[in-house]
Structure 1
Amino acid sequence: MVKDLQQDGEIGQSLVQSLQAQQQVKSLGWLGWLPIPPYRIAAESTERSAAVVLNGQVRMVNRLDHRPSQNWFQKTQSQAQTWWESIQKPAQPRREVSAEVRSVAFSPDGNTIASGSGDNTVKLWRRDGTLITTLKGHESSVSSVAFSPDGNTIASGSWDNTVKLWETRLWDEASKFALGCYWLKDMMNEPDIQGLKNDCNQAQSRIPPLLISQARATALLGNFNSAKAILEEANQRDPKLSIDQPLADARHTAAQALLWQAEDRVTIADRSRLASDNAIVTQRFDFLMKAYLEEANFLVRRAKDINPELDRDRELKQIKERWEKTAKKK
């Protein structure tokens, strides 16, 4: 039985990761097209965004996004969002919001729009302007939002110097209700909640796919054993549901996350290096190098334990090569 499914933040919002940045996060993008998450995220800090020309009007626009399958554009400006059928034919603003909209992004299927606001929230909208939900967790303005290529994860960058990842499959009311039934399953035999029990029975079919989504989010945090337990429970609830691929994906996800952490240790050491011939500084840098290399080796070993198919020697060799290049930079 899996009980530890609490998420960081409010229930149903699916905050799965928060990455610390050195400066205010202004721009985000997804790098690469891996078949499964996590995807590489590029974050950029800038002072201001550029002005663009739309329909002959020059205005300050924080972000612009385009739905590839149709002539749909969106922009952010002041406290409104506007959808265009084309550049020549602007539509009326669909929704007013309470704070400045700093970023917008279409989901890959074009049916959902994410917006980042000055009120520290990420809002999800249907294409007709209906608000789906509000994601809370940032401590400052949300300056950039981006969907992963598969549409299952949203990255949000903020002036609080963090990038947060959100699992998208858990935002709708039906999914929240189904998960609520799952979390309260031990209470379903109480006689005074028979009506709720009947409603929850009808929602049972939604739970296994949601558990798979939850397992993926858990693996993204590096908790592979918990992810595996969640997948096994999903299979018990629906034996027809194959978990072999999700299990392999979870292994890959958890192992890859650890490898990227190992690579980050090399980057941190490089940034910690001081260009000086002072003997004390050099000794300090050598100590940091050894400490970070040991941590990188530990992370790679953990990744190998999670994913036996991982070429541990090759990964370690690549990390050591980067390290040697770092050590030679004087």
Structure 2
Amino acid sequence: MKEIFKQKRNFILLCYPLGILILILAKRNRDIAEYVFARGVYRVYGWIFSHINGILPFSVGEILLILFVIGMAAFPIVTGIFIIRSKRKLVTLVSSIRHLLIILGVVFLWFMIGAGTNYYRYEFSEFSGLKIQKSTVDELYQLCMELAEKTNKARADLGIADDEVFVSKLTNRERAEEAKKAMEKLSEKYEILEGYYPYAKSVFFSRTLSEFNITGVYFPWTVEANVNVDTVDYTKGACLCHELSHLRGFMREDEANFIGYLAAVNSDSAELRYSGYMSALVNAGNQLYDADKDKYYEVRSTYCEGIIKDFSANSVYWAQFKDTTLSKAGEKMNDTYLKINNVQDGTKSYGRMVDLLLAEWRAKQ
């Protein structure tokens, strides 16, 4: 029996070379990343796990992450106790390390199947027909003016006073349902987005996510979209759609931002439409500010009072976490994670959503 368990442990250690082989294949050949993994292995894997975990109202990923952190923290303590009590101390140490390597190997291979290879698939622009090209400041300015106009209208459609900060009338579950419907509706236009969409999960320790400067997390080991529900309400709809887009294998943040925007602004929910336009307005506005401050303030002067109040409320919310040790750590972890996974500009990639917004804008001219 011991020999059987030993063989199984050695077999599981193959997770490392297998995971590395999968990574090499995906990096060297986009067709393999796209058709073998994104539309093949991952699609089956995602369908199974999203159906299983989608039944549960809570985030399985959040629980697993907490258990993993506790386990990693306890590992050296427990190992130390076993070594002290053991007569064969070196054997006990080696055995403990081997068990840790087995766990990490499974986690690594599981990640490669659930997310890693998808960073090397074809860009969403290949499926949407949008042409990415260098844009002028004037084009960016015109895009921002158009977005400002649409955002003003979306704010008016909410039916709340201009001097009030937007407060959602939806529960977290109702908003998640609207996001689910929005993604399903968008998939009717883009076949590549077709598939089963479970409800995105509200994170119980959302405040902790804010401490780490995180608004949402896709957990590839359980195929769950997890959302921080402690943030200001206008940001939540677009964030939900953003995280759900990862379930279709689009891992790059600029693409997830854009897909989330498309789903939100075409939603039947006025709240999601407003959230989507606000997301686009922020990203495009930030780039215009860097390119031409005068033009940015010209666009900003067209914002209705309600938009200004909502932006201010968001700034006040995040100011309490600014430059803290945890927020810096969260930013560094996210930046490092993205760079490791073929996103060379790290967290700056979120802003590349604007390239897709401009491509969409040009296509409509």
TM-score band by shorter chain is under 0.3
Larger relative contact order (CA 8 Å, sep ≥ 6): 2
TM-score of the superposition, structure 2-length normalised?
Answer: 0.25
TM-score of the superposition, structure 1-length normalised?
Answer: 0.27
* Structure ranking higher in helix proportion: 2
* Structure ranking higher in strand proportion: 1
